[in-house]
Chain A
Amino acid sequence: MKLSGAEIILESLKKLGVKHIFGYPGGVILNIFDLLHDDKDLKLILTRHEQGAVHAADGYARATGKPGVVLVTSGPGATNTVTGIANASMDSIPVVVLTGQVPTLLIGNDAFQEADIIGITRPCTKYNILAKDVKELASQLKELFHIATTGRPGPVLIDLPKDVTSHKTEFIWPDKVDVRSYNPTYEGNQWMIAKAAHEIARAKKPVIIAGGGCIISEASHELRELAEYTNIPVTMTLMGLGGFPGTHDLSLGMLGMHGTYYANMSVQESDLLIAIGMRFDDRVTGKIDNFAPHARIIHIDIDPTSIRKNVRVDIPIVGDVKNVLTALNKVLKKDIKEPWDEIRKAWAKQIAVWKKERPLSYHFVKDVIKPQFVVEKIYELTKGDAIITTEVGQNQMWTAQFYKFDKPRRLLTSGGLGTMGFGLPAAIGAQLAFPDKLVIDIAGDGSIQMNIQELATAVIYKLPVKVAILKNRYLGMVRQWQELFYQERYSHTNLDVTPDFVELAHAYGAVGLRATKPNEVEPVLKEAFKVKRPVFMDFVVDWKEKVYPMVPAGASIDNMLFEEQEKKAPRKLKAVK
């Protein structure tokens, strides 16, 4: 029997295991939307903006490890997905975007709602395809899913001209995918792994830096085995949080610009860095010339371009993190019998001193809510077991610092691109995947307004996401930079006219709650977690609060600013221009 292109697309998606699609209709994609009207197996989640659809699919993918799927129309529908795609690309998230396109004959004519989305998304997708022939659709979709989910994952896009979705052909599902030019390396080089094992045995002051790759490759268990067996402390990048238990004795928390004192000091003083599934982003390394000056570096990553891109590497190992760590653990356990605890005694002692010297802290006061206090309370009440999304800025950093993530896929945050407006739609995607889990977006009053329309999506699909807005009436992180580096010239960071979030929640049919005093925080959170509806919580917090420690941009990561120090004797700082 012959099927139309639109039917082939839906059949293919089903064969690929897709259950949910996030999307928004429009003229040239109607062939597909029409079929979704009475499809029993595929559920379309209608977001209120195409950017929201991509972030929701992204959140779904981060929470589950499965690809998120997006369906939008041509022109503005397609261009609205670009931020979401770039976001998924920076964080290596498998998102499959299907865009409508004007009929093949009109392409290039500046037709109504035409945009060259293939050209526009070429640099921010892992791969993209303009569908030209209905006969190729099934194999193209299978190929795209394969590319999105294997190797270093990433977003892919297929552009579907209207005529291709209406043409008919036999539906033949290919048995396998064959992309001859795409062969990711999964197994690490044995010789390099043996070399790494010897370096680890020799090191006196080693540190593991775990990145998002540990989570993507589901390697938490192997990572923990390595750290515990060799007694090596673990620091994590923002994307790596949860890859190793944050409450573990060996955990140093996050490193980098807003990392812990002890993580940054350990890295700077280390004689061996074992970098796993991370890419030495500038927010992690600070001033590159002065990064970990005494350390030899073992770098494990599936993407060869990540290795030797920013820092010199002594032992590069290209491969899937899980496979490499399994092999490495095997070699270590078999060949090397070191009294690990003995060799690293002095190092463990030093780290304990740093931990005691400057733990993460803030000053609790009775009459004003400190934003960190809200995050801590959320952690306490959820016992660290909620799925947390964040927006971008101070809210994100306080979450990374004060919520201890013990399990992978519990923190969904826009790491690489730093996209404000990510948290709410991402929470919606995660909640859809895990209807019974508590999903909380920790937001700022700036960021939440960037995709606030998605509250409607949460209400309509009965997705009870909780949004904790840390309202300081400022674009807080930018304001912090202005205070520290731009002589307190608060140019355009004041958000004086902020909506009444409680009333706004009501207007959307959600629950709105507010806390203005510290003693109201816990009751508000408890109430919010109890109701089975979406909730906006308006926490009016201290607007002067800043994220500490902080490494000024361009400084080396042991050059940190601390709150008490800045209060006593503020340093004159200038921005790196």
Chain B
Amino acid sequence: MRHTISVHVENKFGVLSRVSGLFSGRGYNIESLSVAETIDPQVSIMTIVTSGDDWIIEQISKQLNKLIDVIKVTDLTELDHVEREMVLIKVSPRQENKAEVLRTAEIFRGRVVDSSINTYTIEITGDEKKIEAFIEIMKPMGIKEFVRTGKVAIARESSRKK
């Protein structure tokens, strides 16, 4: 099963490498990883999407906790949480599809962040399903390229209190 794990780490040199090295060294899979500083500049949060059975997820969580620079590990999959991802997608539709592309982007609450004579670059934010749905719809329109951020996630306040 797929799990979204949120890892609070010391914002130090080499921490990303320790975490990614743990995954590669033990043969765990990383589907996506995003990392940035928090309100406390000494702490960063990594959001890692990984998959495995319960044994593997338990080991991943324990192994992460064992790293000296890891402060806290939360498996968000067990909690009610909000998750978001962003994609920047560059499409080059034929003339007759241009309006369709813009309309679809609007339906998905996307924004055009760059345009040229032949292309639009559209920004879409949402959960994974929404991002994938948008990419699917854009495929026949002619995707030049896209880039995704990987997931970020946060527990709902109501679930934290439980």
Interchain nearest-CB distance for A282 vs B (Å): 15
Contact, CB under 8 Å: B68 / A126: yes
Interface-side segment among A76-84, A302-310, A502-510: A302-310
How far is the CB of B58 from the nearest CB of chain A, in Å? 6
A127 and B14 in contact, given A305-B59, A305-B62, A308-B58 (Cβ under 8 angstroms): no
Give the contacts of B1-58 with A (CB-CB under 8 A).
9-10, 13-14, 17-18, 21-22, 25, 55, 58
Whether the Cβ atoms of A309 and B59 lie closer than 8 Å is: yes
Residues of B within 8 A of A (CB): 9-10, 13-14, 17-18, 21-22, 25, 55, 58-59, 62-63, 65-66, 68-71
Flag if A303 contacts B66 (CB, 8 Å).
Answer: yes
Q: Which residue of A lies closest to B10 (CB)?
A: A181
Q: How far is the CA of A122 from the CA of B58 in the complex (A)?
A: 22
What residues of chain B lie closer than 8 Å to A119, measured between beta carbons? 14, 17
CB nearest to A128 among chain B residues? B14
Contact of B70 among A147, A181, A308 (CB under 8 A): A181
Q: Which residues of B contact A130 (CB under 8 A)?
A: 13-14
Inter-subunit contact A127/B62 (CB<8 Å): no
Most chain A CB within 10 A, of B21, B59, B68, B70, is at B68
Is A179 interfacial (CB-CB < 8 Å)?
Answer: yes
B11 to chain A, nearest CB (A): 12
Quick one: given A181-B69, A181-B71, A305-B62, are A122 and B10 in contact (CB under 8 Å)? Answer: no
A182–B17 CB distance below 8 A:
no
**Residues A304 and B66 in contact in the complex (CB < 8 Å), given A180-B71, A181-B71:** yes
Are B69 and A122 closer than 8 Å at their CB atoms? Answer: no
Closest CB-CB distance, A182 to chain B, in whole Å?
A: 5
A305 adjacent to B17 (CB under 8 Å) = no
Q: Are B63 and A305 in contact (CB under 8 A)?
A: yes
Total interface residues on A, CB under 8 Å, equals 17
A202 to chain B, nearest CB (A): 27
List A142-193 residues whose CB lies under 8 Å from chain B.
147, 179-182
Given A130-B13, A308-B58: A123 in contact with B25 (beta carbons within 8 A) = yes
CB of B136 to closest CB in A, whole Å = 40
Closest 9 CB pairs of A and B: A181-B71, A305-B62, A127-B68, A304-B62, A123-B25, A182-B68, A305-B63, A305-B66, A123-B21
A288 CB–B CB distance under 8 Å = no
Residue of A nearest to B24 (CB): A123
Could you show 19 A-B contacts with beta carbons less than 8 Å apart?
A119-B14, A122-B17, A122-B18, A123-B21, A123-B22, A123-B25, A126-B68, A147-B68, A179-B68, A180-B71, A181-B9, A181-B10, A181-B71, A303-B66, A304-B65, A304-B66, A305-B59, A305-B62, A308-B59
A178 to chain B, nearest CB (A): 12
Kindly list chain B residues whose C-beta atoms are within 8 Å of the C-beta of A182.
68
Inter-chain CA distance A375–B106, complex, in Å, is 81
In angstroms, Cα B18 to Cα A122, docked, is 7
Nearest-neighbour CB distance to chain B for A129, whole angstroms, equals: 9
Bound together, the chains give a CA A126 to CA B69 distance in angstroms of 11
Which chain B residue lies CB-closest to A305? B62
The residue from A127, A181, A308 contacting B55, defined by CB atoms under 8 A apart: A308
A307 closest partner in B (C-beta): B62
Chain A: minimal CB distance from B63 (Å): 5
Distance of A494 Cα from B25 Cα, bound (Å): 34
Q: How far is the CB of B45 from chain A (nearest CB, A)?
A: 13
Residue A118 is within 8 A (CB to CB) of chain B in the complex: yes
Kindly report which residue of chain A lies nearest to residue B67, judged by CB atoms. A181
A150 CB to nearest B CB, Å: 11
Report the separation of the CA atoms of residues A553 and B54 in the bound assembly, to the nearest whole angstrom.
27
Bound complex: CA A304 to CA B60 (Å): 11
Min CB distance, B16 to chain A, in Å? Answer: 11
CA distance A181 to B10 in the complex (A): 8
Residues in chain B near residue A179, CB distance under 8 A? 68
Which A residues lie within 8 Å of B68 (CB)? 126-127, 147, 179, 181-182
Bound CA span A305–B63, Å: 6
Interface centre among A122, A181, A308, A309 (most CB of B within 10 A): A181
Please measure, in the bound complex, the distance between the C-alpha atom of A119 and the C-alpha atom of B22, giving whole angstroms.
13
Tell me, in angstroms, the Cα distance from A147 to B68 when the chains sit together.
9
Measured in the bound complex, the distance between the Cα atoms of B63 and A130 in whole Å is 23
- The CA of A7 and the CA of B59, in the complex, are separated in Å by 42
Task: Give CA–CA (A433, B25) in the complex, Å.
Answer: 35
| Nearest CB in chain B: distance from A120 CB, A | 11
Instruction: Determine the distance from Cα of A123 to Cα of B18 in the docked complex, in whole angstroms.
Output: 8
- Closest beta carbon of chain B to A456's beta carbon, Å: 36
Given A123-B21, A308-B58, answer yes or no on A118-B14 (Cβ-Cβ < 8 Å).
yes
Give the CA-CA distance A127 to B10 in the complex, in Å: 13
**Given the complex of chains A and B, what is the CA–CA distance between A180 and B71 in angstroms?**
7
**Measured between C-beta atoms, what is the minimum distance from B147 to chain A in Å?**
27
Which of B25, B62, B70 gathers most chain A CB within 10 Å? B62
Residue of B nearest to A156 (CB): B68
Chain B residues with CB below 8 A from A308, complex form:
55, 58-59
Least Cβ distance of A269 to chain B in Å? Answer: 26
Contact of B21 among A122, A303, A309 (CB under 8 A): A122
Q: Name the A residues within 8 Å of B10 (CB-CB).
A: 181
Give bound CA distance, A114 to B13, whole Å. 19
CA of A308 to CA of B58, assembled, Å: 9
Chain A residue at minimal CB-CB distance from B13: A130
Nearest residue (CB) in B for A308 is B58
Chain A residues with Cβ under 8 A from B21's Cβ? 122-123
Complex Cα gap A383–B70 (Å):
48
A179–B71 CA distance with the chains assembled, in angstroms = 10
- Complex contacts, A118 vs chain B, CB 8 Å: 14
A122 engages B55 (CB within 8 Å): no
Most buried by B among A147, A303, A304: A304
Q: In the complex, what's the smallest C-beta–C-beta distance from A175 to chain B, in angstroms?
A: 21
Cα-based distance from A128 to B101 in the complex (angstroms): 52
Please, which residues of chain A bring their CB within 8 A of the CB of B62? 304-305
Nearest Cβ on chain A to B9's Cβ, whole angstroms: 8
Which residues from A are CB-within-8-Å of B66? 303-305
Given A181-B71, A305-B59, A308-B55; A122-B14 close (CB under 8 Å): yes
B17 partner residues in chain A, CB cutoff 8 A: 119, 122
CB closest chain-A residue, reference B8: A181
Compute how far the CA of A267 lies from the CA of B18 in the bound complex, rounded to whole angstroms. 37
User: Which residues of the partner chain A approach B55 to less than 8 Å between Cβ atoms?
Assistant: 308
**Apart from A119-B17, A305-B59, what are 10 other A-B pairs with CB-CB below 8 Å?**
A122-B14, A122-B21, A123-B25, A127-B68, A181-B70, A181-B71, A305-B62, A305-B63, A308-B59, A309-B59
Report chain B residues within 8 Å CB of A147. 68
